[in-house]
Amino acid sequence: MTSKRAIADVFAWEALDSRGTPTVAAEITLAGGARGSVIVPSGASTGTHEASELRDGGTRYGGRGVAGAVVNANGELARAIIGLDASEQSRVDESLRQASGDDSLARLGANAVLALSVASAQAAAAADGQPLYAAAARPGTRPLLPLPMVNIISGGAHAGRSIDVQDFLVVPLTASSFAEAIEVAWNVRAATARVLEDGGHSVALIADEGGLGPVLPTNRAALEAVSRGIERAGYALGEDVGIAIDIAATQFYNPHRGDYRLAAEDRDISAAGLIKELQEWAASFPIVSMEDVLAEDDWEGWVLATEALSGIQLLGDDLFCTNKHRVGTGIQLGAANAVLVKPNQIGTLSDAREVVDLAHSAGLATVLSARSGETEDSWLSDLAVGWGTGQIKVGSTMRSERTSKWNRLLAIEARLGDGADYAGRGTLAANSGASARA
């Protein structure tokens, strides 16, 4: 007798992400009639060690079409998983990997693989009448609402490189619930916009992730604006609200010279010089988290940065690429103390979950993250709760592909009430910010 959870049908199609770029969408139907569907995201600042999307090339959509990936999802990948029990996520994902036959998933497309991985998980949850966060949780664990990092100002690849640093975010530190944390972030974003307007800067430009995209003279000016915005909103700097920055240093690293080009400030800086500058920023501003402080393969520099910036959460994105082997190297060397987790960097939910578990077992913090090219789906929010990542970063408090994630977390918290915990600031790595500003 066929299980009601057996994958019976796969249907994929080409959809659009939040930048209007083609991406893969898919729906999986189980034998019992349950369905799961997804539209997968795509990144702009991507690491070279990420799983590989499959794009069509040619002239259609400027070469960014995914018709080939859709064919693969409906063909080879579908044949690999039809008949499998969707609740056996690791088996489904391993079958998808074996079908592609390569670690990077380039042959059939990581975008196609991820679509089927997520859709199968959603279908399995639906078959059991569970929300995805419950289906994704370990037995006996309580749901954990994550601490949000919320985008306020963007530069780099997310805002036409008006400034070099990619994102400046706020982290509500004293909020007692997820809902209160989002309200705090909303207040700070509104106040920062007023600060920028008072300084003669336009706030009409909105970056990829919903943050403000002003043209500023220096990267430090963005830190100053956000700090003034925190105070103008009525919060105490570093007590009520901290700052997180995504430097995305790989994006302005010069591999030929081994240094970093700050184009917006027309200057070059060495790895040691960049670390020193980040120390100065940490001494002057309430920075609790720094992401991708150096280039993705500068392991030696990352070790030095982790020592020099002790007390701050040092978050690896391009450094780790949600890859358990790279995270293992980081653990061994002592490079970074937190891992950014993006399922589309590795291609399957099982592999992403394994990275979360590995990081937690080694005492590293985890932040589940959206991409700059997002969709209206909110499954990422469920995974943050079910996996207990502790932190989440999906963008700002505007644009529907961002608010869909925040809204899902607000709904989960409202529904569960006292049946869930809120992570709060205690989930930040290294008791962030304490020693750096001492």
Q: Report helix, strand or coil for 137.
A: coil
* Lookup: tokens for 148: 């949000």
Catalytic site residues? 209, 342
Q: Is the dihedral of CA 429, 432, 434, 435 positive or negative?
A: positive
Q: Which residues contact residue 357 at a Cβ distance below 8 angstroms, ignoring those fewer than 6 apart?
A: none
Q: In angstroms, how far is CA 166 from the centroid of its own chain? A: 13
With contact defined as beta carbons under 8 Å apart, do 351 and 117 qualify? no
Q: How far apart are CA 213 and CA 160, in angstroms?
A: 9
* Half-sphere exposure at residue 179, Cβ-oriented, CA atoms within 13 angstroms: 8
Per-residue pLDDT of the chain in tens (438 residues, 90 and over written 9)? 579 999 999 999 999 999 999 999 999 999 999 999 999 998 765 668 899 999 999 999 999 999 999 999 999 999 999 999 999 999 999 999 999 999 999 999 999 999 999 999 999 999 999 999 999 999 999 999 999 999 999 986 544 556 889 999 999 999 999 999 999 999 999 999 999 999 999 898 888 899 999 989 888 999 999 999 999 999 999 999 999 999 999 988 999 898 998 887 889 999 999 999 999 999 999 999 999 999 999 999 999 999 999 999 999 999 999 999 999 999 999 999 999 999 999 999 999 999 999 999 999 999 999 999 999 999 999 999 999 999 999 999 999 999 999 999 999 999 999 999 999 999 999 754 433 333
Which amino acid is located at 152 in the chain? Answer: I
With contact defined as beta carbons under 8 Å apart, do 209 and 134 qualify? no
State the DSSP code for 418: G
Q: Domain spanning 7-129: which CATH class is it, in words?
A: alpha beta
- Please write down the long-range contacts of 97-106, taking CB distance under 8 Å and 24 or more positions apart: 97/347, 97/348, 104/51, 104/52, 105/51, 105/52, 105/347, 106/51, 106/52, 106/54
Q: Report helix, strand or coil for 345.
A: helix
First to last CA, the chain: 66
* Integer angstrom CA distances of residue 229 from 155, 186, 300, 421, 425: 17, 11, 36, 29, 20
Q: How far apart are CA 10 and CA 128, in angstroms?
A: 19
Structural domain spans, the chain:
7-129, 144-437
7-129 and 144-437 agree in CATH topology: no
> Which secondary structure element, helix H or strand E, spans residue 244, and what is its range?
strand 241-246
Give helix 110-127 / helix 349-361 axis angle, nearest 10°.
Answer: 80
Position 94 scores a pLDDT of 98
Q: Domain spanning 144-437: which CATH class is it, in words?
A: alpha beta
Residue 4: exposed, middle, or buried by beta-carbon count in 10 A (0-12, 13-18, 19+)?
middle
pTM, two decimals, is: 0.95
The tokens 């959460």 sit on which residue?
A: 313
Position 44 scores a pLDDT of 67
